Amino acid sequence: MDVRALSFTGSTRTGRIIQESAAKSNLKVIFLELGGKSPVCIFEDADLEIAAEDTQHSIQVNSGQTCMATTRVYVQESVAEKYIALFKAKFESSSIGDPQKPGTNQGPQADKVQYDNVLKYIEIAKEEGTLALGGSAVEGEGYFIRPTIFTDTPEDARTMKEEIFGPVVHINTFKTEEEVLAKANNTEYGLYASVYTKDLNRAIRFAKGFEAGTVGVNCTSPTQGKDMPFGGFKGSGIGREGLPFYTMNNFLETKTVVVKL
């Protein structure tokens, strides 16, 4: 009961349990940095080479075990074939192995529980969409999973809604701005979202329209403004963290003092 504030980083499921427990104790102030299902919208006027490089890195860094990983890619129909070919070439050329060795850019999943969980989701995804790359474990020692791409997955599919936390990405297509913005926001999460386009007006429309705590324009996660607040909308969290002001402000209270003279 002496603890008056608590910060937690982890899954949305655990965050809910913590918030419930806090309400039942002394109404602790809770700050939560939780999961994500980050979308990226790639328009036909984007630099596809850069977009493919960035989005591939986003899902592969830390073996896909980052809350803001770009796991849902939406690419405009007119350039989808070219983008997917670029993305696939970069993704499948991964060097999987000991992350302490030079040249390795994908290590293992954190433990057997996470390894089994990712493989479970991959099997579910095979029933929901089209497997375009990977879809299996790497033979041998360690919890390694091949870079995996699914395409043409229905928006209401389980693996489009739930956080997988592994090197697994879904790539779907779109025609119009209105269509893709609605798809991008159709999730309980809202941690990071990004848009690739040379049209600045469109970029600003998406920056305003995304339901996400951080928006990248012609860049995606893990790119951040290091001196800017970080946190999520909706099921991705409560509050913001960052350099001293944002983080420390979470543990302070505002007091009003009125003195009658």
Task: Give Cα separations from 208 to 126, 148, 201, 202, 213 (angstroms).
Answer: 34, 31, 11, 10, 11
Average pLDDT over residues 114-134: 97
Of 229, 235, 234, 199, nearest to 217 by C-alpha is: 199
Q: 101-123, pLDDT tens digit by residue?
A: 998 989 999 999 999 999 999 99
Q: How far apart are CA 169 and CA 71, in angstroms?
A: 5
By three-state DSSP, how is residue 248 classified?
Answer: helix
pLDDT at site 259:
98
pLDDT for residue 32 is more than 90: yes
By three-state DSSP, how is residue 187 classified?
Answer: coil
Give the pair of three-digit tokens for residue 169.
Answer: 């990405």
- The one catalytic residue in 44, 49, 67, 241 is 67
Question: Taking the domains of the chain in order of start, what are their residue ranges?
Answer: 1-33+229-254, 36-223
Average pLDDT over residues 61-69: 95
CB-CB contact of 174 with 183 (8 Å): yes
pLDDT at site 94:
87
- Listed in sequence order, the residues at least 6 apart from 15 whose beta carbon sits closer than 8 Å to its beta carbon are 8, 32, 34, 237
Q: How far apart are CA 225 and CA 246, in angstroms?
A: 13
Which residue has tokens 């989005």? 55
* Mean confidence (pLDDT) of the chain: 96
pLDDT for residue 226 is more than 90: no
CA 261 from centre of chain: 55
Average pLDDT over residues 64-92: 97
Position with higher pLDDT, 141 vs 191: 191
% of residues, the chain, pLDDT over 90: 92
What phi, psi does 166 have (nearest 5°)? Answer: -160, 180
Q: 204-225, pLDDT tens digit by residue?
A: 999 999 999 999 999 999 999 9
pLDDT at site 42:
98
Clarify whether 67 is annotated catalytic: yes
The Cα angle at residue 12 between residues 8 and 13, in degrees rounded to 5: 105
What phi, psi does 29 have (nearest 5°)? Answer: -80, 125
Q: How far apart are CA 98 and CA 110, in angstroms?
A: 13
- The one catalytic residue in 33, 41, 163, 177 is 33
Clarify whether 139 is annotated catalytic: no
CATH dotted code for 36-223: 3.40.309.10
> Which pTM does this prediction carry?
0.94
Q: How confident is the model at residue 244 (pLDDT cuts 50, 70, 90)?
A: confident
% of residues, the chain, pLDDT over 70: 100
CB neighbours (10 Å) of residue 175? 10
